[in-house]
Structure 1
Amino acid sequence: MSKLLKQAAEHWRYVAPLLTPPQTEADYDALVEALDELLDEIGGTEQHPLAALASQVGDLIAAYDAEHYPIPDAPGHEVLRYLMNEHGLNQSDLPEIGAQSVVSEILNGKRQLNVRHIRALAERFKVPADVFL
């Protein structure tokens, strides 16, 4: 056995939980906590020796999220309605879309969001434009 594999075998019981996909909520919570600690340690240094580990742990968390907490597809007008509710906005608070009547038609599914609307909404709400597609 090579020196590298011997070292890995000696420390595997400490490293394995960080590289094993979570099977339960407790496993998931432990990984999230570990990732938080890793990110605190790494800061913004991409060359940090633990950066690759943080990336792997993040991938395991993302895979668990995708499987257990899928985000349902929603039409653009429903996403807009949700964001308006979250931000306490009414139809007249969106001049970047147009008049209140235009916003009303969009929210009721009678009119589609166009590219200009989507760009303006993505900028306003600081979300990716594709959430409206």
Structure 2
Amino acid sequence: MTVQTLEKKVRLPPFAEDNAIYTGLIRRYPPRPIETKQMHKDYSLLAGRLMALLEDELPASDRKGIERYLKVMIPLIRAFETEISPIGKAEPEDVLRFLMEQQELKEVDLAKELGGQPVVSYILNGKRRLTRDQIKRLSSRFHVSEASFYPSGV
């Protein structure tokens, strides 16, 4: 079936899209159900990089395009994660490690926010717990709920 045949059968005109960033992301990285670990890795990396861009000063239309794309992709990423390995409650250091991997961060990148590189290392190795202040800073940086960084059972 051709696209023209499909359009005739659907009997709807194409939806207008006026956001160039959103349209560009859709064309370059089309949303689709994630079926392999490699696809998951690629789309998760893309989502992490786009979220990092949202921390920068962006024109409102660029921000809107990125946010709209993430609203489409994040549920697809989560659906794959739930299907492959239903998640129990993760420990704070595992959550932090995961978020760091997604945004390609090293310990030194969080040193200023957490009180130095050795502190980051202690936290990631489970030798030190996150403080409330650190949790607030991490929650803000990664755009996740503070609850993500509290230990199981708290």
TM-score, length basis structure 2? 0.42
Bigger relative contact order, structure 1 or 2, given CA contacts below 8 A and separation 6+? 2
Q: Whose Rg is larger?
A: 1
TM-score, length basis structure 1? 0.48
